[in-house]
Amino acid sequence: MAEKNKKLRHVGFIMDGNGRWAKKRNKPRTFGHKKGADAIIDVLEECFDSGVEVVSLYAFSTENWSRPKDEIDTIFDLLGTFLKKYSKKLFEKKSRLVISGDLSPVSKELRERCERLMADTAHFTDHVLNIALNYGSRVELVRAFNSLKDKQGDITEEDISGALYTKGLPDIDLVVRTSGEMRLSNFFLWQCAYAEYYFTDVLWPDFNKEQTKKAIEWFYSRNRRFGGIENA
Ligand code: FPP
C-alpha cells in the first residue's frame, strides 16, 4: 500500500556482502565485517540527517550461528565496540537503542552493555536505532503469538504489533539489501508488509552516504510514481 508522498520514517538495512568484499581483497571474512561495521556510522548519519526516524540493522540472524566460531566471535566483538563508540552519538542525537532478538546466548558483557544502553536511552524520542541481534522474524512471531495465547477475545493486528520487539515503532517503509541478493531472509516479515525494496550490487563495506542518499531518493521517486498523477 504505497502512498503518494509517503514519508520515509523507517529504513531497514540487510547488510550483505562483507565476506565477498574481503575475498576480493584476499583478506579473511572477518576483515569484511570490520569494514562493514565502520560503514554503519556514516549510513546512520545520512539517514537521521535526512529525517528518517528509525533505522533497523540486521546484524546477526538466528541462522548465523552455523558460521565458524571465529567469525561469530568477531561479529559480536564488533557489535560491542560499535555500541561503546556509538553510545555518545545516541545521547547527542537523543536516540533510543532497541535490540530486537534473544540476547540470552550472547556473552554476559555484551548482553549487559545492550541492556544498559537500552535502559539509559529509553526516554529519547528523536530517533531509534534498532539492531536485530540473534534475530529471526518467525521466532519473533511465534514468541508474540505465545504471549497472546491467554488473551480474551480476538487477537488484533495491534495486539501482534505490540507483542513484537519493535513495539511502538512505525512499520518499515524501505528495505535496503546490498550485494545483489534479492531475499528478505527472515528480516522483520510482519513489519515489512508494505515496504518498498531497494536492491543494489554494492557490497555493504562500500555502502556509504552517497549510496544511502540514492536509496532514499529512489524511495521518494518510487512513491511518487505509485501515487499516480502528481497534484491530483
Ligand atoms: C552479511 O554479510 C553480514 C553479516 C551476517 C554480519 C553483519 C555484521 C556487521 C556489519 C558488523 C557488526 C554489526 C554492527 C551493528 C556493528 P556476509 O558475511 O553474509 O557476506 P557474504 O554474503 O559476502 O559472505
pLDDT digits (tens, 9 = 90+) for 89-116: 999 999 999 999 999 999 999 999 999 9
pLDDT at 223: 66
Ligand 1 contacts CB of residue 43 (under 6 A): no
pLDDT at 222: 85
Residue 180 lies in a domain: yes
Residue 229 lies in a domain: no
CA distance 78 to 72: 10
pLDDT at 30: 97
- Predicted confidence band of residue 219 (pLDDT cuts 50, 70, 90): very high
- Is the pLDDT at 158 greater than 70, yes or no? yes
Q: Which residues are catalytic?
A: 16, 64
Between 124 and 3, whose confidence is greater? 124
Average pLDDT over residues 145-157: 96
pLDDT at 225: 55
Ligand 1 contacts CB of residue 17 (under 6 A): yes
**What is the best residue among 33, 63, 117, 204 to mutate for testing ligand 1's pocket, by most ligand atoms within 8 Å of CB?**
33
Share of the chain above pLDDT 90, in %: 93
pLDDT at 3: 53
Ligand 1 contacts CB of residue 117 (under 6 A): no
Locus of grid cell 502512498: 3
Residue 18 lies in a domain: yes
Q: How many domains does the chain have?
A: 1
Residue 226 lies in a domain: no
**What is the best residue among 13, 14, 16, 35 to mutate for testing ligand 1's pocket, by most ligand atoms within 8 Å of CB?**
16
Q: Tens digit of pLDDT for each residue in 48-86?
A: 999 999 999 999 999 999 999 999 999 999 999 999 999
- Is the pLDDT at 16 greater than 90, yes or no? yes
Q: Tens digit of pLDDT for each residue in 167-215?
A: 999 999 999 999 999 999 999 999 999 999 999 999 999 999 999 999 9
Report which protein residue has its CA nearest ligand 1's atom 15.
Answer: 59
Residue 52 lies in a domain: yes
Residue 39: how many other CB atoms lie within 10 Å: 24
Residue 45 lies in a domain: yes
> Nearest-CA neighbor of 101 among 58, 40, 69?
58
pLDDT at 6: 85
pLDDT at 1: 47
CA distances from 89 to 24, 32, 86, 201, 227 (A): 32, 24, 5, 29, 36
- Predicted confidence band of residue 231 (pLDDT cuts 50, 70, 90): low
Ligand 1 contacts CB of residue 14 (under 6 A): no
Q: Tens digit of pLDDT for each residue in 35-45?
A: 999 999 999 99
pLDDT at 174: 98
The answer to whether 188 touches 172, Cβ cutoff 8 Å, is yes
Q: What CATH number did the domain enclosing 29 receive?
A: 3.40.1180.10
Direct distance between the N- and C-terminal alpha carbons of the chain, in angstroms, rounded to an integer: 18
Q: Provide the domain limits for residue 33.
A: 7-221
The pTM (predicted TM-score) of the whole model is 0.95
